[in-house]
Amino acid sequence: MIFETVREQIALPDAAQLYGISSRNGNIRCIFHADSNPLMKLYTDHFHCFGCGAHGDVTDFTAQLYGLSKLEAARKLRIIVISATAAAAAFGTIAVIRKVKSNKAAML
């Protein structure tokens, strides 16, 4: 299933970084509500906003950020995985993909 696959292959903080969103200790301004403070926390396998309660995984994050359906977002993430895998094969680096080893929340 594509949703589980991309969730396991791309850590959310890495995806956010790819999208040009910088965080401080994993905290960013929420992309779901008008957030003047960084109330959204990025974990390896999910995000949570302590302001509005938004919660989800890397696919939900991508869908919201780009105005895509969940399926479109998962396809976008799959392309990123394929591209990063090809780059790693060519250049010997796989920094973009950090396999989620457990469901335990990990900070950036």
Q: Say if residue 64 is exposed, middle or buried (CB neighbours under 10 Å; 0-12, 13-18, 19+).
A: middle
Report helix, strand or coil for 35.
coil
- The answer to whether residue 73 forms part of the interface with Zn ion (CB under 5 A) is no
Question: Strand 27-28 and strand 40-42: pairing?
Answer: antiparallel
x-marked contacts with Zn ion along 28-57 as a string, rule CB under 5 A: --x-xx---------------x-xx-x---
**Minimum CB distance to Zn ion smaller for 48 or for 78:** 48
Identify which of residues 58 and 80 has a Cβ nearer to Zn ion in the complex. Answer: 58
Residue where the block lists tokens 């779901």: 32
3-state secondary structure of 96: coil
Query: What minimum distance in Å lies between the beta carbon of 66 and Zn ion?
Result: 17
- Min CB(53)–Zn ion separation in Å: 7
Binding site for Zn ion (CB under 5 A): 30, 32-33, 49, 51-52, 54
